[in-house]
Amino acid sequence: MSESGIHTHAPHEEFVEEQAAHHPLSQWVAIFTALLAALGAIVSYQGSHLMNEVLLHKNEAVLQKAHATDQWNYYEAVSTKEHLMELARDLAPPERQAAISAKIQKYDQQKISIKRQAEALEQASLKADNESDRLNRPHTELARSLIFLQIAISLASITALTGRRWLFALAFASAAGGVGLWLMALVRMGM
């Protein structure tokens, strides 16, 4: 309001109000677009959060695989020592063979323990890798959902500019596809 008590509107405000009065579709498109943008933000957040979990499990799989590889290398080193001791036993004088045989037995027992650890680490790696793959499937659905929602927003924006109702129907169909994919992802995630 001005000092004289008269309220004036800026020219663009009058244009917007006039357009809204003549084109009620524009109001629906604006509400629809705002809702899709909010849903898109939620889907994007969920997708980012899920990708972090996918990567966390993938990293765990790689780490466990590296530990398993270390254990298998240790197994090979102990096997090499055992084979060298077997050769030494064959070449050693009879009075030293008993001591060498005891070392061979010690290496044989170590190999059993090392093998169990390596296999357990490989299983942990496989489990983490499988969990990463399981979580990646709903992530893909979330990404596709976001694409459909963004297409719907674009179509709605074009509808607002052109006033073509058939574009709004396409926007609605695209949004429905995006919501459907989002719900499928939520089911797969167990939510």
Taking only the tens place, the pLDDT of each residue in 121-134 is 999 999 999 999 99
Residue-wise pLDDT for 60-110, tens only, equals 999 999 999 999 999 999 999 999 999 999 888 989 989 999 999 999 999
Domain annotation covers residue 108: yes
Confidence band for 169, pLDDT divided at 50, 70 and 90 = very high
- How many structural domains are present in the chain? 1
Q: Answer whether residue 17 is part of any domain.
A: no
Q: How confident is the model at residue 189 (pLDDT cuts 50, 70, 90)?
A: confident
The Cα–Cα gap between 142 and 135 comes to: 11
The H or E element spanning position 150 is: helix 94-162
Between CA 135 and CA 35 the distance in angstroms is 27
CB atoms within 10 A of CB 129: 17
Residue 164 lies in a domain: yes
Query: What whole-number distance in Å separates Cα of residue 118 and Cα of residue 71?
Result: 5
Report yes or no on 6 lying in a domain: no
Q: What is the mean pLDDT of the chain?
A: 88
Distance between CA atoms of 20 and 18, rounded to whole angstroms? 5
Mean per-residue pLDDT for 145-166? 91
Q: Is the pLDDT of residue 52 over 90?
A: yes
Residue 11 lies in a domain: no
Residue with tokens 């990463």: 132
Domain that holds residue 145: 25-189
Any idea which residue has 């008590």 for tokens? 5
> Is residue 9 situated within a structural domain?
no
Q: How sure is the predictor about 26, in pLDDT bands with cuts at 50, 70 and 90?
A: confident
Q: Give the model's pLDDT for residue 1.
A: 47
7 domain residue, yes or no: no
Is position 80 within any domain?
yes
